[in-house]
Chain A
């Protein structure tokens, strides 16, 4: 029998807040985490603004041993471990002390790459014929599963410990995969999340594709403009989000705080067929993903109160709204509210889905819909489909029952999940 799955812990490392309390404050108040980046300017990037978490000096010592911090050059692992351990602690779960692994707990923690900066250092050493001087940290920091391996060790996880990777849908996919594992009875608790490396070697490829905005280098906070007529590309960013998923039985037994319930979800691909390609989403697949997610959750389109979109601030935002409207068959004033934290923090690539899942769950738990910033000039193609009032530009304090959240990624891959306020029935 399918088991109910709830969320009992949250962690986040975002450009506008490196813990859940600061992040909540920031998204409620529309606080941008986008800043000018001198390094990108010096390197002749078109886009010279980024969203990067502001980690204070010494902060990592709360999460890593001094030995682990020696030669640690993997920003994605740093963000992922902070978010993951914070979520575990938030769920009221203890760090293990005994010799026995926790067989009932695992992690699916995604990333696009790992340890790019560590890899670069290694490349120089190897090319100088000094491979023996790499030390022991290169493999564990540059393997894609480095982040889940670090978390698995720190938490003593004895269930599945793995890393998924599906471009910008990575984070939401991780949550859905973890949800299914618990629903099917293969685990009691799963730490689900995603992270990304930072820096020019990550962002450069996007800059070269001309998909990042270059029009706001002098006004960073205005740069990320999802759904706006003046949107001119996404702002590259970085960060990590993490959620503790737990069987309802386990959560009730522990007396844990329940943030929300996961009703269902769907993961699919457009196969790079039809209008889909390596970089463009096949609308048929996007709509199907949303429809199948609702079917899996056992809900009807009219039950959705609000949508947390992908909405990167490229020319694809209008198409995304059209896909949602068609999949739900809801237009104009009947369309649910829709928002995205990307307006405040940019697009944190493989980290984005989990950060946005955290934001979604916070809205359900604390009864609010955060504002979209930089969307005063709504794109006319969007306004033809849905009413302007559906895109809040100021905080709305409102009880949300059901929220749909989706991300879409390169490779024509999609993930859509349905969260619901938990009630005991």
Chain B
């Protein structure tokens, strides 16, 4: 799964959590979930749960704390997918 595919899935997952549709449309690896998308920090845990379900992975607490921007989120997803595959 490449970065573009993951970004597309992320956009879909994040859609209900942000009112900033423009920032969502132009989402890149550098987008910050809290600053750019103004996502309520309490909802980050819901987004993590949605990601787990979508990708069939489990994300531990340490990885979770890193997932505040798209780049780190993609890295965590790839790492967990690779661990599953292994």
Interface residues of A (CB under 8 A from B): 66-67, 70, 132-133, 135-137
Contact = CB atoms under 8 A, between A and B. Distances in A.
B44 to A, nearest CB: 8
A142 to B, nearest CB: 15
A136 B46 CA distance: 6
Interface in B37-53: 42-43, 45-46, 49
15 contacts: A66-B16, A67-B16, A67-B17, A67-B43, A70-B16, A70-B46, A132-B45, A133-B49, A135-B45, A135-B46, A135-B49, A136-B42, A136-B43, A136-B45, A136-B46
Contacts of A67: 16-17, 43
A137 B17 CA distance: 13
Given A70-B16, A132-B45, A135-B49, 13 more contacts: A66-B16, A67-B16, A67-B17, A67-B43, A70-B46, A133-B49, A135-B45, A135-B46, A136-B42, A136-B43, A136-B45, A136-B46, A137-B46
B6 to A, nearest CB: 22
Nearest to B53: A133
A391 to B, nearest CB: 52
Contacts, number: 16
Q: Is the interface of A mostly helix, strand, loop or mixed?
A: helix
Interface string B3-25: 00000000000001100000000
Nearest to A71: B46
Contacts of A137: 46
A132 B62 CA distance: 13
Closest 4 CB pairs of A and B: A136-B42, A67-B16, A135-B46, A136-B46
A136 B43 CA distance: 6
A258 to B, nearest CB: 37
Nearest to A69: B16
B62 to A, nearest CB: 13
A67 B13 CA distance: 12
Contacts of A66: 16
Nearest to B43: A136
Nearest to A139: B42
B67 to A, nearest CB: 14
Nearest to A135: B46
A408 B62 CA distance: 52
Nearest to A68: B16
Nearest to A133: B49
A137 B46 CA distance: 9
Contacts of A70: 16, 46
A95 to B, nearest CB: 15
Contacts of A135: 45-46, 49
A67 B40 CA distance: 11
Nearest to A137: B46
A135 B53 CA distance: 13
Nearest to A136: B42
B42 to A, nearest CB: 4
Contacts of B16: 66-67, 70
Contacts of B42: 136
A193 B46 CA distance: 31
